[in-house]
Amino acid sequence: MQDADIGKSLSAAQTWLRGLSVVLRQRDFSERSLQCLLGLWISERALESTRSDGLHGLAGVISEQLAPLQEAAISSCDSKLLLLALYIVRKCGYPAYALENYGRKVADALRQDAAAHDDHVGEAIVLARLGLSNYPCGNAVDLSDMRAAAHNLLHSDPEAIRSLYARICAATHFGTQECRWFPGRQQMAFVIRVLLIDALNGYDMSTGAMLLRLAAYLGPTNEAVIRDAQSFLRLQQLSDGRFGQYDLHAEALRDAGLDARLDLYLPLTVSCVWALAETAMPGFRLFSLSPLEL
């Protein structure tokens, strides 16, 4: 029943993202278009959906929008998001020359600095699937200090938690590889679950979704705390499919002349969709990508 309910939740989010994609197709290129594209891609793959009109329509518009742009116009966007967008746009059958040039430059930089792979595993995975670089070999990220780190994390700031997320994502290749045993692994898995509960209790849904994915990379997803976190996220889904009970924050954004759909609900909805898909849909991992030559 849990997986079926999550499937309905992902389908509702997909419908909302599809509607938002229509709005974004009428606007100039922005990172929000890439976020929406990613959310549609995740939901379609997780649901094994054939309702790809929104995804392909947005991919085609992004391809057209990027055609006259130079690298400087896109370099302020998140690098993993840019490369995932390149993969998705090409998978949908459209060219993306600005993104391809950007991808080649990132691949060259990683080739010149092999040590940078640990900090850019997500980028390296996508580049390898695009045929632009070698897949990062082995599982060499040093996690030998995790026993001490596990204790310290209970008193850490959000930046330390994000740093931990990056290291475990690098060690597991975003959950696509089994994480090798390391001293303190059991303690770390426990602490991550404590931090997950704490984040959701404080209604920090973005951090909660990130920690939910991290919990899945380190251990089983059939535990009560994981199921409870999934249920909590689902309960925060609005009737139109977006996530987050943030009426006051949304009103403040509107008063400031911003669009709450794009600046608040879109990134949060994509984060929740990603977390629910990776922890509830059997075998799904965002970074499990089939090879695709440019």
Task: Show the domain range for 52.
Answer: 2-280
Report if residue 249 sits inside a domain.
yes
The residue that leads in pLDDT, 7 or 153, is 7
Q: How confident is the model at residue 50 (pLDDT cuts 50, 70, 90)?
A: low
Task: Say what the pLDDT of residue 154 is.
Answer: 73
Report if residue 289 sits inside a domain.
no
| Cα separation, 191 vs 211, whole angstroms | 10
**In percent, how much of the chain has pLDDT > 90?**
52
The residue that leads in pLDDT, 241 or 185, is 241
Q: How confident is the model at residue 115 (pLDDT cuts 50, 70, 90)?
A: low
Q: How confident is the model at residue 1 (pLDDT cuts 50, 70, 90)?
A: very low
Task: Say what the pLDDT of residue 148 is.
Answer: 67
Mean pLDDT of 86-99: 92
Task: Say what the pLDDT of residue 234 is.
Answer: 96
Q: Where are the alpha helices (DSSP H) in 25-50?
A: 31-47
| Cα separation, 27 vs 90, whole angstroms | 21
Report if residue 87 sits inside a domain.
yes
Report if residue 292 sits inside a domain.
no
Q: Are 96 and 106 in contact (CB under 8 A)?
A: no
Report if residue 294 sits inside a domain.
no
Report if residue 287 sits inside a domain.
no
**Predicted structure pTM score:** 0.92
User: Domain total for the chain?
Assistant: 1
Report if residue 291 sits inside a domain.
no
- Taking 3-state DSSP, the helix, strand and coil percentages for the chain, each rounded to the nearest 5, stand at 65, 0, 30
Q: Is the pLDDT of residue 136 over 70?
A: no
Task: Say what the pLDDT of residue 181 is.
Answer: 67
Residue closest to 231 by CA, chosen among 215, 208, 202, 250? 208
Mean pLDDT of 218-231: 88
